[in-house]
Amino acid sequence: MKYKRLIMLFLMTVLLVVIYLCIPQKENNKTQKEKKEVLKTCKEEKLSDDWETEKICISDIKFVRVSEKEIDITWSDQKNPYVDTYYLMRRKPNENKWKQVGQLQSDHNIQDRELTLADILKEDTVQQYEYRIDVSVTDTKKYKPVEGNSIYASNLLICIDPGHFSGKNKIVDADGSSYSEGNATLILAKNLEEKLRLSYGITCILTRTTDDITLGGYTNDSLDEGHISLRGRYAQGSDLFLSLHTNANQDNANGYATDKQPISINKTLVFVNAVAYEDNRMLHLANAIGSYLTEVNYNMQVSESEKFQSIESKEEVKKWSDEYNDQLNVPGTVCVRWGEHGDYYGVLRGAATVNVPGLIIEHGFHTIPEIRKLVLTGELLEKWADADARGIAEGYELMKKEGD
pTM equals 0.86
Mean pLDDT across the chain, nearest whole number?
91
For residue 82, give the DSSP letter.
G
Residue type, position 88, single letter: L
Instruction: Provide CB contacts within 8 A for 1, sequence distance 6+.
Output: none
**pLDDT attached to residue 8:** 57
| Res 48 pLDDT > 60 | no
Q: Kindly indicate the confidence band of residue 30, based on its pLDDT and cuts at 50, 70 and 90.
A: very low
Separation of alpha carbons 356 and 235, rounded Å: 7
Separation of alpha carbons 264 and 262, rounded Å: 5
Q: What is the mean pLDDT of residues 150-165?
A: 98
Q: Kindly indicate the confidence band of residue 16, based on its pLDDT and cuts at 50, 70 and 90.
A: low
Taking CB atoms within 8 Å and a gap of at least 24, the contacts of 94-102 are: 94/399, 98/132, 100/134
Separation of alpha carbons 91 and 151, rounded Å: 11
- 182 conformational bin, left if phi > 0, alpha if psi -120 to 50, beta if neither: alpha
Packing angle, helices 379-396 and 369-377, rounded to 10: 90
**pLDDT attached to residue 341:** 86
